[in-house]
Copies of this chain bind each other. A is one copy, B any other.
Amino acid sequence: MISSTRAEIITIGDEILFGQITDTNTQWIGTQLTDIGIRPVRKTSVGDNKQDILDALAEASQRVQVIIVTGGLGPTRDDITKHTFCEYFGTELEINQDALALVTSFFEKRGRAMTEMNVQQAALPKNCTYIPNLCGTAPGMWFEKDNVVYVSLPGVPYEMKNLMEHEILPRLKAKFPTSIIQHKSIRTIGIGESFLAEKIADWETALPTHIKLAYLPHFGQVRLRLTGTGTDQALLEKELQDQVDKVMPVIEEHVFGFDLDELETVVGSLLMQNQATLSTAESCTGGYVASRITAVAGSSRYFEGSVVSYSNAIKMNVLGVKKETLDAFGAVSEQTAREMAEGARNLLNTTFAIATTGIAGPDGGTPEKPVGTVWIACAGPNETFTQLLTLRNDRKINIELTSSYVLNLLRKTILKANLVTKA
């Protein structure tokens, strides 16, 4: 067993406990700590209540060597974190001149007047190391006591991330000798967790004890995550890669990528490799497929645009779907999906075009075409492929699943078209 530095992430805020905001900070912090070999062993959320925060700090200090606290540093009155830290460490607040200078210049640059509240943001517990926040007005704080590091960060995600990346992670790496933890993920789509588990049971059973497997299902995808621990980084990486190579032949048809690959980044790379372009024609996904594609930086190199044809009029007048097709087969049909994809490919003048049409729900289902009935299509230079999806009774899930399946259909179509080799 390798000794490793253990961490706890504490978030403060009634709004998190009451479920009134989505906490994305702790997930991100978890990834970052893991990447530098510090192992998160617990996450704790407490409310804006001094005693609960004091308890959480005291408990965490018994468990771990690194405590990361976020939230509770905004300029308004529900923020009590700094006072609580003073009480915890038995110290008091004083205006930190470096912090005050930074807050002042932040407001000067924006040509805004500073309020007394903003001045108070520069008041810090006397025993803290001040960590400047270059993106906002709430400073970072670093404390050390009895061999435990306490880090306090603002709750605003991009301020917190900036502080972690540029200040906290480098300091943690310097302070703690890290053991080696390596991850390798295989990303699959279109096969359920238990069926995947049956397929790879022999391989899983034969895994060495220092390599652990986890199944992480998420909207039609399952991520197979291998976690290895060891002392020799190069050896560990090779061992993980060998295990991946060993299992791949069994599951290849379901695999769309590895590690941080997403369907939208994988198809982006494939399109660029093939010097090909893409457009979408969307009915039931309502622009969500295009938004996933364009969330990727640099997507303008291969993505031309989209027609969201929520109404039949737009399917006909803009995309050129034939009235006879809609009359004979309906808007949710293989024929309509095909004509939407081919129509977008012509109109927007792209190498590939993908289309979605279906009943996302909660209304609009019929006995023949219940909610969750979706047709997807991908038109390429040689032919058009279609696929019927039979999904759930939930609008959001249906949109999410459809977008993933149509991106996967595109991925397969590009691989089949094999443009570069042909050219």
Q: Which residues of A contact B (CB under 8 A)?
A: 14-24, 26-32, 34, 40-49, 52, 56, 59, 74-78, 115, 117-118, 137, 156, 158, 183, 185, 193-195, 197-198, 204, 212-218, 223, 225, 227, 280, 282, 285-291, 293-295, 297-300, 303-311, 313-314, 318, 347-349, 361-364, 392, 394-397, 399
Closest to A155 in B: B217
User: Would you call B42 and A18 a contact (CB within 8 A)?
Assistant: no
CB proximity of A311 to chain B, nearest CB, Å:
5
Contact between chains at A43 and B45 (CB < 8 Å): yes
Given A194-B76, A286-B294, A363-B297; A21-B216 close (CB under 8 Å): yes
Bound CA–CA A418/B70 (angstroms): 45
Q: Does the CB pair A77–B213 fall under 8 Å?
A: yes
Closest to A49 in B: B41
A294 touching B310, Cβ below 8 Å: yes
Contact present for B14 and A214 (CB under 8 Å): yes
Cβ-defined contact, A43 with B17, below 8 A? yes
* A interface secondary structure, majority: mixed
Query: Are the CB atoms of A313 and B76 closer together than 8 Å?
Result: no
Contact A27 B31 (CB under 8 A): no
Contact B297 A20 (CB under 8 A): no
- Are B19 and A22 touching (Cβ within 8 A)? no
Q: Which residue from chain B places its CB closest to the CB of A204 in the assembled complex?
A: B77
For A17, give its contact among B30, B137, B314 (CB under 8 Å): B30
Using CB atoms, name the residue of chain B closest to A161.
B394
Query: Is B318 within 8 A of A348, CB to CB?
Result: yes
Contact B75 A197 (CB under 8 A): yes
| Chain B residue at minimum C-beta to C-beta distance from A307 | B307
Given known contacts A76-B215, A303-B310, A311-B304, A34 and B18 CB-to-CB distance under 8 angstroms = yes
For this complex, 12 residue pairs linking A to B, each with C-beta atoms less than 8 Å apart, are A18-B183, A20-B30, A20-B216, A42-B52, A77-B204, A285-B294, A286-B294, A300-B310, A300-B311, A304-B310, A306-B307, A318-B347
B16 touches A30 (CB 8 A): yes
B residues within 8 A CB of A213? 77-78
Contacts of A74 in B (CB 8 A): 193, 215, 217
Measured CA separation A288–B286 after assembly (Å): 9
Interface centre among A20, A280, A361 (most CB of B within 10 A): A20
| Other contacts beyond A19-B26, A286-B299, A318-B348: 7, CB < 8 A | A17-B41, A20-B216, A76-B215, A117-B198, A287-B288, A291-B291, A304-B311
Give min CB distance, A369 to chain B, whole Å. 15
Closest 4 pairs between A and B when the two form their complex, measured CB to CB? A286-B294, A287-B290, A19-B30, A287-B287
Q: With contacts A287-B287, A307-B305, A314-B304 known, is A27 near B34, CB below 8 A? A: no
Q: For the complex, what is the distance from the CA of A396 to the CA of B198, rounded to whole Å?
A: 38
* With A78-B214, A213-B77, A288-B291: A20-B223 Cβ-Cβ less than 8 Å: yes
A362 vs chain B, min Cβ distance (A): 5
Within 8 Å CB of A20, what residues of B? 30-31, 183, 185, 216, 223, 225
Query: Are A194 and B349 in contact, with the CB atoms below 8 A?
Result: no
Q: Is the CB of A31 within 8 A of B18?
A: yes
Give the docked Cα–Cα distance between A158 and B309 (Å). 29
A348: chain B residues at CB < 8 Å are: 314, 318
CA separation between A396 and B290, bound complex, in Å?
14
Q: Which residues of B contact A47 (CB under 8 A)?
A: 41
- Nearest CB on B from A313, distance (A): 7
| Docked-complex contact A14 and B295, CB < 8 angstroms | no
Given contacts A18-B34, A117-B197, contact A318 B305 (CB under 8 A): yes
A77 proximity list for chain B (CB < 8 A): 197, 204, 213
Contact A18:B40 (CB < 8 A) given known A286-B290, A299-B286, A304-B311: yes
The answer to whether A118 touches B194, judged by C-beta atoms less than 8 angstroms apart, is yes
Smallest CB–CB gap between A179 and chain B, Å?
Answer: 15
